[in-house]
Amino acid sequence: MGLLVAGLGVAAPLAQGTRVWTPDELFRRNIGTREDQDTAFPPHKIIGNLYYVGTRTLASFLVTTPQGHILINSDYERNVPTVRASIEQLGFKYSDIKILLGSHAHADHMEGDALVKQLSGATVMAMAEDVPALEKMVPGGKPHPVDRVLHDGDEVKLGGMTLVAHLTPGHTRGCTTWTFKEQEGGKAYDVLIIGSVGVNPGMKLVNNPDAPQIVDEFNRSFATLRRFHPDVPLGSHPGMYNMAEKYAKAGTGPNPYIDPAGYTAELDIVEGVFKSVLAQQQKQP
């Protein structure tokens, strides 16, 4: 899950007016209620051949091409029928999904992979460092499929589209940020989907026996993400890019999803929370 921090009592500035957000508020913003997780958000075009097909708080994206489609994030297995209905509502065939990708090895993003593969025949791809965690994700006893193991910088190509996988670990060992280009109005735009650089509730940043280099991984991921300057910043949870607000503005002027400043603002928010949580844990005996 993206940008998850809870119960730590520190605040992080949000670059939206003068409001200051607490970690608990960021958690609720991203995850929402069970109803939010399960209720489809109106499926819609973001830019070019990129569409949103997820729920109110769990992002799924569809990249369409003449040779078939790429789905990013299956979400919980219980969400698979909802995502399928959104894809079909847009007029696309679910059976045309050829490739399934994911943000990171948490159930709210990739638990449904086996069912999507069963229903569509899609090739499932995942970052190598996340494979061990994915192999433990077996809803209903179904083995988690990984047809192609990805590594940092690998390209995924289909129908003239090229998506690049960037390893941005910390949130999970194989957390993946995706970049690609979209065309609209005769112009090319850089799209980036943040995998997540959030701190989970209860995550140990100091003396973590399972991930002793976790702080270095987070810092490396922030440095990696700061090198990008996307025109269209997106994320594994729609709250990470203010989707609802942008959707409400769509069609009334310039494409609201083109928001370079929003990308920097979001990184500032979550990196500030990360540093606050780290400082607090470093003070603990």
Q: Does residue 34 register a pLDDT over 90?
A: yes
* Highest mean pLDDT: which range of 135-139, 202-206, 275-279: 135-139
The stretch 160-189 carries a mean pLDDT of 97
The pLDDT value recorded for residue 5 is: 33
- Calculate Rg over the CA atoms of the chain: 18
| Alpha helices (runs of H) in the chain, residue ranges in sequence order | 23-31, 34-38, 80-89, 107-110, 113-120, 131-135, 214-226, 243-249, 260-283
| pLDDT of res. 72 | 98
Adjacent-strand bridge partners of 246: none
Query: Binning pLDDT at 50, 70 and 90, where does residue 264 land?
Result: very high
Residue 12 pLDDT greater than 60, yes or no = no
Separation between Cα atoms, residue 282 and residue 189, nearest integer Å: 41
End-to-end CA distance of the chain: 28
Per-residue pLDDT, averaged over 244-249, amounts to 96
Query: Contact, 241 vs 266, CB < 8 A?
Result: yes
H or E segment to which residue 150 belongs: strand 148-150
Fold of 12-283: Metallo-beta-lactamase; Chain A (3.60.15)
Domain coordinates of the chain in residue numbers?
12-283
DSSP letters along 247-267, please?
HHHTTSSS-TT--HHHHHHHH
Residue 220 CB contacts under 8 Å (≥ 6 apart), including other chains: 169, 170
- pLDDT > 70? residue 21: no
DSSP per residue, 75-118: -SGGGHHHHHHHHHHTT--GGGEEEEE-S-SSHHHHTTHHHHHH
Could you tell me the pLDDT band of residue 130, with boundaries at 50, 70 and 90?
Answer: very high
Burial 191-210 (b: 16+ CB within 10 A, else e): bbbbbbbbbbeebebeeeee
Overall pTM surpassing 0.85 (yes/no): yes
